[in-house]
């Protein structure tokens, strides 16, 4: 079995994995990172989104072996010193979640969106998050939250 070295939420792991193991299963089943949910089996919903070397990926469409030597951030690693990440706070304050199933993926995809477009219009936010589905259809509040998150991160004046 291949051995991978991967940093997840600031902890480095060395693990043997089967070549067919998906990253999302590695995170959930091996590392106990159940904050990363599985919402589909077609790579459509985006609920499994994590950051891999700073870019959002659907962890159900990445093999664990492909994460070798990379740094992964899940929703469980976003807060620091007991303080929520500004994007987490914005989702909370704008009531951008109902059941919460899509929320980890939405937040991580939103953070990556700001890497490319630090001052996104509402239209750009909608396009940037089109790979993430909310079954509760709370999209208006999600867009508001991303805008607020961007403001709180100090990267936009909109
Ligand atoms: S569980 Fe990965 S896209 Fe749906
Ligand atoms: S809040 Fe329920 S799926 Fe988005």
Residue 90 lies in a domain: yes
List, for residues 74-119, the tens digit of each pLDDT value. Answer: 999 999 999 999 999 999 999 999 999 999 999 999 999 999 999 9
Q: What is the pLDDT confidence band of residue 155, given thresholds at 50, 70 and 90?
A: low
List, for residues 1-33, the tens digit of each pLDDT value. Answer: 999 999 999 999 999 999 999 999 999 999 999
Both tokens of residue 109?
Answer: 């995809």
Residue 158 lies in a domain: no
Out of 33, 60, 77, a domain closes at 77
* CA 157 – ligand 1 centroid, Å: 33
CATH number at residue 128: 1.10.150.120
Using alpha carbons only, give the angle 64, 69, 74 rounded to the nearest 5 degrees: 60
CA gap 119, 98 in Å, rounded: 26
Residue 67 lies in a domain: yes
List, for residues 133-151, the tens digit of each pLDDT value. Answer: 999 998 999 999 999 999 9
Which residue of 37, 134, 143 sits with most ligand 2 atoms within 8 Å of its CB, as the best mutation to test the pocket? 134
Across the beta sheet with 55-58, what order do the strands follow? 11-16, 3-8, 71-73, 49-52, 55-58
Number of domains in the chain: 2
4 within ligand 1 shell (Cβ under 6 A): no
Which residue range forms the structural domain that includes residue 22?
3-77
């Amino acid at each position: 079995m291949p051995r991978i070295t991967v940093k997840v939420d600031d902890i480095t792991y060395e693990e043997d994995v089967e070549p067919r193991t998906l990253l999302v299963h590695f995170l959930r089943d091996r590392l106990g990172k159940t904050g990363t949910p599985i919402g589909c089996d077609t790579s459509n919903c985006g609920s499994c989104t994590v950051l891999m070397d700073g870019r959002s990926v659907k962890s159900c469409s990445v093999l664990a072996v492909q994460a070798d030597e990379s740094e992964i951030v899940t929703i469980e690693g976003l807060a620091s010193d007991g303080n929520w990440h500004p994007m987490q706070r914005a989702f909370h304050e704008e009531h951008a979640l109902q059941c919460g199933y899509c929320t980890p993926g939405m937040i991580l995809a939103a953070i990556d969106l700001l890497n490319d477009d630090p001052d996104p219009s509402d239209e750009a936010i909608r396009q940037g998050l089109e790979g993430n589905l909310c079954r509760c259809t709370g999209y208006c509040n999600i867009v508001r939250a991303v805008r607020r998150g961007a403001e709180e991160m100090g990267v936009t004046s909109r």
